[in-house]
Chains A and B, each alone.
Chain A
Amino acid sequence: MMAIGALLMFLGIKKEYEPTLLVPMGLGTILVNFPSSGVLTQVFGGVEQKGVFEILFDAGIRTELFPLLIFIGIGAMIDFGPLLQNPFMLLFGAAAQFGIFFTVIVAILFGFNIQEAASIGIIGAADGPTAIFVANTLAENLLGPITVAAYSYMALVPIIQPIAIKAVTTKKERQIRMTYKAESVSKMTKILFPIIITIVAGFIAPISLPLVGFLMFGNLLRECGVLDRLSFTAQNELVNIVSILLGLTISYKMQADEFLNVQTLMIIAFGLVAFVMDSIGGVLFAKLLNLFRKEKINPMIGAAGISAFPMSSRVIQKMATEEDPQNFLLMYAVGANVSGQIASVIAGGLLLAFFA
């Protein structure tokens, strides 16, 4: 486990794969795996002394406080502008959640129970806090490997997506050009949008409201125009402080007896399946729409509907430029990518609603 901790830190520091989580998690993994480690509960002279990691875990993860606080910061960072300029992109966010549900089926086929399978599937949300939130509710025992898989694959989007996209598209399809047409967006629209998302989510899946509500609260801080100081704090100090605590605290679930098993290897493999099938689901949806549309959509836009922002939209633009140096898809891809940020949270909420 100490080698795994070192590997997580190496990936974070040297490869810059999600360092905000992997570096604290890597050191935390080393800390929790010392025999009689003081960060875990120990008995001294017949008296039980609760370890600091357990205190943090009970306070921040078991209560789901840390992922929700991070959501406020993420919400404050999201600009819905590119999405509202092309609202049609919303549908690609929905399509690219396919990997979640496909992976649930795969996990069941390999013997996981339905709650565990749903927790593994949520890796495909490509959204760390949502994965932690759902896994903690449905299968706390799998929280460690699910978190490692979710954050690792998010960092690997630039490698995974081009392979998945090329597997289901032709060169000609990847060269499709899209004329950029955009609506300008008023301030009132930007203010009302997060409020309405909260209300819609509340009516359809009220159990998703902690996820959606905190995310949209953060966005409202950003857009309302009178709380810039709070928005700045949410985007910076809040996210930074909670990320430090979250990374360390998650490593409580990185103890050898819980992590070193065949299930972990399977979860890591299924996480890859989830990311690949997200991309394929989005691309195939775009291709389906193209059967009925006069103005064709570049199917790569569909793959941008995952939540990994802004990596995915950058990948799509890079691929488009490789196929045709004059092809400019970035704004469409950004719209789909932002939609993925909404859709992943909704998907997480629906998973919880299914078991409620």
Chain B
Amino acid sequence: MNIEALKIGFELMLFGMGGVFLVLFLLYLVSIALLKLFPAKQKIK
């Protein structure tokens, strides 16, 4: 087993999951802002 590759693999996991959560969280904030800034005329009930 290549310990060095495994270490890079865990770094990739941290980078990847951290990056995906960061981007999606930013998009969550953007979505909230867009919904507030440009509300639709009628609310869905």
Taking a contact as CB atoms under 8 Å apart, the answer to whether B40 and A186 are in contact is yes
Q: Collect the chain B residues with CB atoms within 8 Å of residue A100's CB.
A: 16
Q: Collect the chain B residues with CB atoms within 8 Å of residue A168's CB.
A: none
A185: interface (CB < 8 Å): yes
Q: Collect the chain B residues with CB atoms within 8 Å of residue A183's CB.
A: 35, 40, 43-44
A7: interface (CB < 8 Å): no
Q: How many residues of A contact B (CB 8 A)?
A: 48
- A181 and B6 alpha carbons, distance in the complex (Å): 44
Tell me the chain B residues, 14-45 only, with Cβ under 8 Å from chain A. 15-17, 19-28, 30-32, 34-35, 38-44
Could you give, for residues 63-97 of chain A, a 1 whenever the CB lies within 8 Å of some chain B CB and a 0 otherwise? 00000000000000000000111011011011101
- Contact-residue bracket for chain B: 20 to 34
- A339 and B31 alpha carbons, distance in the complex (Å): 12
**Majority DSSP secondary structure for residues of A touching B:** helix
Of A47-55, A143-151, A191-199, A317-325, the stretch lying at the interface with chain B is A191-199
Q: Collect the chain A residues with CB atoms within 8 Å of residue B38's CB.
A: 186, 188-189, 192
Taking a contact as CB atoms under 8 Å apart, the answer to whether A189 and B16 are in contact is no
Taking a contact as CB atoms under 8 Å apart, the answer to whether A87 and B2 are in contact is no
The answer to whether A97 and B20 touch (CB under 8 A), given A88-B28, A104-B13, A197-B27, is yes
Taking a contact as CB atoms under 8 Å apart, the answer to whether B34 and A90 are in contact is no
Taking a contact as CB atoms under 8 Å apart, the answer to whether A351 and B16 are in contact is yes
Which B residue sits closest to A118, measured CB to CB? B12
Taking a contact as CB atoms under 8 Å apart, the answer to whether B6 and A105 are in contact is yes
- A201 and B20 alpha carbons, distance in the complex (Å): 10
Taking a contact as CB atoms under 8 Å apart, the answer to whether A91 and B24 are in contact is yes
The minimal Cβ–Cβ distance linking A74 to chain B, given in whole angstroms, is 18
Taking a contact as CB atoms under 8 Å apart, the answer to whether A354 and B15 are in contact is yes
Taking a contact as CB atoms under 8 Å apart, the answer to whether A350 and B15 are in contact is yes
The residue that B42 contacts in the complex, of A105, A184, A201, with Cβ under 8 A, is A184
The minimal Cβ–Cβ distance linking B40 to chain A, given in whole angstroms, is 4
Q: Collect the chain B residues with CB atoms within 8 Å of residue A186's CB.
A: 38-41
Taking a contact as CB atoms under 8 Å apart, the answer to whether B9 and A346 are in contact is no
The residue that A184 contacts in the complex, of B16, B22, B44, with Cβ under 8 A, is B44
Taking a contact as CB atoms under 8 Å apart, the answer to whether A201 and B23 are in contact is yes
- A93 and B20 alpha carbons, distance in the complex (Å): 9
- A346 and B26 alpha carbons, distance in the complex (Å): 13
Q: 10 new A-B pairs (CB below 8 Å) besides A87-B27, A94-B23, A205-B19? A: A84-B34, A90-B28, A101-B17, A108-B9, A184-B39, A193-B30, A200-B26, A204-B19, A339-B24, A351-B12
List 19 A–B pairs whose Cβ atoms lie within 8 Å, in order of A's numbering: A83-B31, A84-B35, A88-B28, A91-B24, A94-B24, A94-B25, A97-B17, A100-B16, A108-B1, A108-B5, A113-B2, A117-B9, A183-B44, A185-B40, A188-B34, A204-B26, A205-B23, A347-B19, A350-B16
